[in-house]
Homo-oligomer: A and B are copies of this chain.
Amino acid sequence: MRILLVEDDLRLVAELKPQLQQAGFAVETAHDGIDAEFLGREEAFDAVILDLGLPGKPGLEVLTEWRNAGLDMPVLVLTARDAWHERVDGLKAGADDYLGKPFHVEELLARLEALVRRQHGHASSRLQVAGLVLDNDLQRVTDQQGVEHPLTGREFRLLRYMMLNADRVLSKNELSEHVYEEEDLRDSNVIEVYINRLRQRFGKRCILTRRGQGYVLPSQPEHGS
């Protein structure tokens, strides 16, 4: 899951970012409204944490512009604890949830995960696609025969993203954007290597190649071509 953290307080960012990463998110950051608006518009995020008190451009304005541009990723707004009018404005502008500062990181994580799950239409931490059962908490997958496969961090992130977006062609670029934080992987074949690993674990049929396009995880095994 790739998220955008928009916050100008660098101390807070330094505290939050590692914990978000720990929780399995790939985190990009923006420190002012201009950057935030640009990043959110130009890149693909699964969720956004947006502080309203920003230099450059007000957070609310950023949010409004995103929504006007047709972007529908879930946005969690950070407000001062007692500024209830900000919350109302935020929700009107298209925020999906809000949290008053100061807050506990655990709550932020919980709300964030709830948002992402809601977005992808999954109520639980388990995900069933293509005959596989993926357990978010234990970071492992059970196959059709009931065999459990403990996965490494990257294997797990990649497979999860593919299961969340089954039956869609996913370019290597899109995949690496959602599995990594840095993006300069143009001249790397990591994704190919990890696709190969997953195939070794779950069978070659499991993931199809669309030459020149990307990869697909069919939700039910395909016959023929």
Contacts and interface: CB of A to CB of B under 8 A. Distances in A.
Given A139-B169, A168-B138, A169-B138, A150 B210 contact: yes
A42 interface: yes
The size class of the interface chain A forms with chain B is 20 to 34
Interface string A145-156: 001111011000
Report the copy number of this chain in the oligomer.
2
A139 B211 contact: no
A106 interface: yes
Nearest to A39: B104
Interface in A146-196: 147-150, 152-153, 168-169
A137 interface: yes
A153 B211 CA distance: 8
Contact of A147 (B41, B216, B225): B225
